[in-house]
Structure 1
Amino acid sequence: MAISFSAEQPFGIKLYPIFEKVYEAATGQPASAFAFTPGITPFASFNEVWISCVLYFSVIFGGQFLLRYLPSFKPQVLKIPFQIHNVLLTAVSGALLALFIEQIYPMYHKHGLFYSICEPSAWNQKVELLYYLNYLVKYWELLDTVFLVLKKKKLEFLHYFHHSMTMVLCYTQLGGKTTVSWVPITLNLTVHVLMYYYYFRTASGAKIWWKKHLTTMQITQFVIDLFAVYFCGYTYFAYTYHPSLPNMGSCAGTELSASFGCALLTSYLFLFINFYRITYNKQKAAAAARKGAPPNSNKKSVKQQ
């Protein structure tokens, strides 16, 4: 296999043909035959999505209630399954990210950014299949919460809200064919490669110094996401309803899916900022207390300088 780097082949080799062989071996169907079809494609109906959410909440909160009366699992019992879960999600997230880049970059290189995020033709069959597989991975990621329950960890609202609603978000964007979807998806996959690698390593006993930076990356991700989706939403609504306003033309996707995506990603940004503020302010206060100094002593000294 010859290695040649180009806009059409950013990794030196074509990854999608390899993926097609794996997909056909796993499903018995050629990748080119896939189409996201409600009522036919698994998990392609709203009933399946909301039932999955109900089951998710029933399992995690029901399990949390039942485990209050049972002894805790020994750490060794969950260690290996947790490591396997995280290393597989690291690999799958990385593979999907590479496949998305291989599809999106040539489009961007040839037609520019606006085409890549707004033109209906940018939503092609190959990209739709990758969107769908990313959507299915969101069901797999619900196991993150199951592990927390089994470990008798506290369930934060941000955690279960984010996991359940991201699954819903991916479903709505698939149904609405919002072409800009690749922006939040590729950024999310990038963060998840690092995040699941972090959890795999720490489960092995490694001390990783960059946990705080993961949260910073997540916040940065949502800022970029919102810039992209609000731009697409604005130019669509301006072009459609108020053409006298400056705009760059229409943008692919249904109004409902675009509005839901904007609202949900906005809520994520505020929730993650609040999480960052609470978590790391507490850590600073605890560190200062251990040193026997007031929590704000460092800030005061900086101001005095």
Structure 2
Amino acid sequence: MVDQSQLVFPVYLYDYFAKGYEAASGIPAASFTYIRGVTPLSTNLEAFSLMVVYLTIIFGGQWVMKNFKPIRANLLFQVHNFFLTIVSLGLLLLFVEQVYPMYRDHGLLFTICSDDAWTQKLELLYYLNYLTKYYELVDTVFLVLRKKKLEFLHYYHHSLTMILCFTQLNGRTSVSYVPITLNLLVHVFMYYYYWRASCGVRIWWKKYLTLLQITQFIIDLGFVYFCTYTYFAATYYQFLPNMGACAGTESSALFGCLLLSSYLLLFLQFFGKTYTKPAPAVKKVQ
């Protein structure tokens, strides 16, 4: 039983989530343990094979759809986006409920660097968030069916975010909650936008959604660069100022830094191309 004074929200949401999880899986939430090679989708072969399947389906689908008219599937599209809005919001609240008490009691450094910040409850939430990345690949299927242009940024981001979550889950990086919660916040607004737009509602803040995504990556990089730096400084270069080692494997930390950096650059490029109009040419006076 959770102490009422320690509650983040009026009720302890995880209790309700745990009941739903057990009803759906037949396994108590408290018994979940992520074991590489045992837990579904926990091996390199599974993750990378499904990424190849995804790319094959979307590009093969584009080739097939050349001979057909666009398929709107509007109702399915609406249900898909509404479902992801609710799932993203639910996971976001569950993460906040688990992380905030650690931050309140032990401070920010503990939450992003301590091995003890990787709890069993958070591990289950990390795993479920990872699984949602596979379902989110359906976004691209709708684009293919509607014969929309597939931007490199779209399929690069979708396929590799799945791999990013996979590597951080295996690497047990405590700082994972930062990019995950920010990503979930963005997805609440993003899938809400797509849901309402597909219902015929005119949404005026699409530009600001992209700005929110860019802000997300800037904050992400501030945290992951810090954690990676202090880990390597404390481990190999003790003469450098540092805050001690951080939880997680070196490969997962470096991959996270590189991939999130590429996301920021690509989203900045997309924003410039989409929302920045070139200055009108000035006519020379003869």
Per the TM superposition, whether the score is higher than 0.5 is yes
Q: 1:92 aligns with which of 87, 98, 103?
A: 87
1:33 equivalenced with 2:28 (yes/no): no
Q: What SS does the corresponding residue of 1:295 show, helix, strand or coil?
A: coil
Query: Paired residue for 1:199?
Result: 194
1:234 to 224, 229, 254: 229
The separation in 2 between residues aligned to 1:237 and 1:51, in whole angstroms, is 32
Q: Alpha-carbon deviation of 1:38?
A: 1.6
1:225 equivalent to 2:220? Answer: yes
CA shift, 1:170, in A, is 0.2
Find the counterpart in structure 2 of residue 52 from structure 1: 50
Runs of 4+ in 1 over 2 A off after TM superposition: 294-297
Alignment-derived partner of residue 65 in structure 2: 67
CA distance in 1, matches of 2:280, 2:105: 54
Other-structure match for 1:295: 280
Aligned-partner residue type, residue 270 of structure 1: L
Other structure's SS at 2:246 match? coil
Residue by residue over 1:119-157, the C-alpha shift from the partner in whole angstroms, topping out at 9 and shown as x without a partner, is 000001000000000000000000000000000000000
Aligned counterpart, 1:267: 262
Deviation at 1:182, TM superposition (A): 0.2
- CA distance 1:296–1:196, shift in 2 (3 Å): farther
Q: Which residue of 2 aligns with 1:117?
A: 112
The counterpart of 1:108, out of the listed 103, 107, 110, is: 103
> What amino acid maps onto 1:295 in structure 2?
P
Deviation at 1:296? 6.2
Q: Does 1:158 align with 2:153?
A: yes
Q: Which of 37, 40, 43 is the equivalent residue of 2:41? A: 43
Instruction: Give the secondary-structure state (helix, strand or coil) at the position aligned to 2:203.
Output: coil
**What code does the residue aligned with 2:51 have?**
C
Counterpart-to-counterpart distance in 2, 1:58 and 1:255: 31
Deviation at 1:248, TM superposition (A): 0.6
Long gaps (5+) in structure 1: 286-293, 298-305
- Following the alignment from structure 1 to structure 2, what is the Cα–Cα distance between the partners of residues 252 and 39? 21
In 2, the alpha carbon distance for the partners of 1:114 and 1:53 equals 34
Percentage identity across paired residues of the two chains: 59
User: 1:79 matched to which residue of 2?
Assistant: 74
- Distance apart, 1:39 and its partner CA: 1.9
Aligned to 1:289: none
In 1, Cα distance between equivalents of 2:75 and 2:174: 39
Q: 1:70, CA displacement in angstroms?
A: 1.6
Q: 1:295: how far off?
A: 3.0
Partner of 2:238: 243
Letter in 2 for 1:238: A
Indicate the SS of the match to 1:222: helix
Identify unmatched segments of 5+ residues in structure 2: none
| Superposition RMSD in Å | 1.3
Q: Could you tell me how far apart the structure 2 residues matched to 1:236 and 1:42 are?
A: 30
- 2:239 aligned with 1:254, yes or no? no
Amino acid at match of 1:275: F
CA–CA distance in structure 2, aligned partners of residues 172 and 53 of structure 1: 14
Q: How does 1:137-176 map to 2 (within 5 A)?
A: 137-176=132-171
